[in-house]
Structure 1
């Protein structure tokens, strides 16, 4: 069986009637990740309850080698790789005008979770390749909304073997096609990074379920 890479984008919310994250993921899916990867993609609604149900289900059902979540940030001008996810502080209402009762992702969970992927390293590698003028930067604050919430949930369920990528709104300044191509390069670089770390024996990549 081919290793599965699962990539999600988000549906509409607020001013983002067309969410650049899902459009970018669809463009990336058209390009694919090569014959050695079973690529799966899914659109997530901007709803805490749906994310809390869907993300653990994906981990349990598919046991992906890597899960990558993509979200849009109206503040972003570059593609941004998030290193850290936060457990608490979720007070902003979702599209159903709801938020978690506890304002947390996982009750009694760690305050933060850090991806196994070194995002600074990934950025350096990607920026040395041809990405059509789309610089990639690292961040340590995913924003305490559905992006951060989905990331923490995924890191918790997938033994920190997950990633989150923020993209700017469409055409501000990058087209969907350019974003899709950049996503492909980033994810392929992440897979190479994980392969190297596994060969070195320095990354615990067993997919233990914590959900």
Structure 2
């Protein structure tokens, strides 16, 4: 079973491309014969984790990819690391605005994605989809969910062999969110859905990640 998640709209937007893409990718992969579920998460600290944990318990997936919107980024961002820090620049959809709070008191400072991020990066580029390996998922609800996912996968009583793999992907604005001529980066919804499907397909056939350069100088 494969679990995909995306978020409800936030920050005054009427859509969130992370959910549009996750929902569409779910249907694409189901048509290919894969067992896939898509779950929408609230853009709310803590509540989003409750919904995610319920989905993990209900679906018992072997692969989990959570998706969020990173408006202003021009590419599909394969997130490498989640950090144990909530530091909100804007309130979430319930008005919460945590500052410098550990998600898990005393927990690890960070977790790395267990997705084959370099192999997925190469596959996306081969498919003509703009992509990058990102070194920061921010400190808002996206990172909150990413860290919670990896913490759950590392500490669950069911964690074992083979381990459940998981990670996080940020997507740009969807084209209809961006005023024409504004120059703000965006991608069509269909491209983002296919990007998620490419990552899933890659993860299912990749046991050892590639060694290739996709780092950052700053």
- TM-score bracket, shorter-length normalisation: 0.7 to 0.9
Q: CA deviation at 1:177?
A: 1.2
TM-score w.r.t. the length of structure 1 is: 0.82
Deviation string 1:166-199 (CA, Å, 9 cap, x unpaired) is 1111114321112111211121112222xx24xx
Instruction: Summarize the Cα distance change of 1:101–1:79 in structure 2 as closer, same or farther, 3 Å threshold.
Output: closer
**Equivalent residue for 1:189, pick from 179, 187, 202:** 202
Q: CA deviation at 1:12?
A: 0.9
2:161 corresponds to which residue? none
**Equivalent residue for 2:74, pick from 62, 77, 87:** 77
- Deviation >3 Å, runs of 4+: 99-102
Structure 2 unaligned spans of 5+: 155-163, 176-184, 209-218
Moved more, 179-188 or 94-103: 94-103
1:161 corresponds to which residue? 165
2:61 corresponds to which residue? 64
> Any idea what SS the aligned residue of 1:29 has?
helix
C-alpha distance in 1, partners of 2:109/2:130?
30
- 1:21-60 equivalences in 2 (<5 Å): 21-33=18-30, 34-35=32-33, 37-60=34-57
Task: Name the count of aligned residue pairs.
Answer: 189
Q: CA deviation at 1:145?
A: 0.6
Deviation string 1:78-129 (CA, Å, 9 cap, x unpaired) is 011001001114334211111458722212110100112241232023322x
TM-score w.r.t. the length of structure 2 is: 0.79
C-alpha distance in 2, partners of 1:76/1:7?
21
Q: Would the aligned equivalents of 1:79 and 1:168 in 2 still touch at CA under 8 Å?
A: yes
Q: Please tell me the root mean square deviation across aligned C-alpha atoms, in Å.
A: 2.0
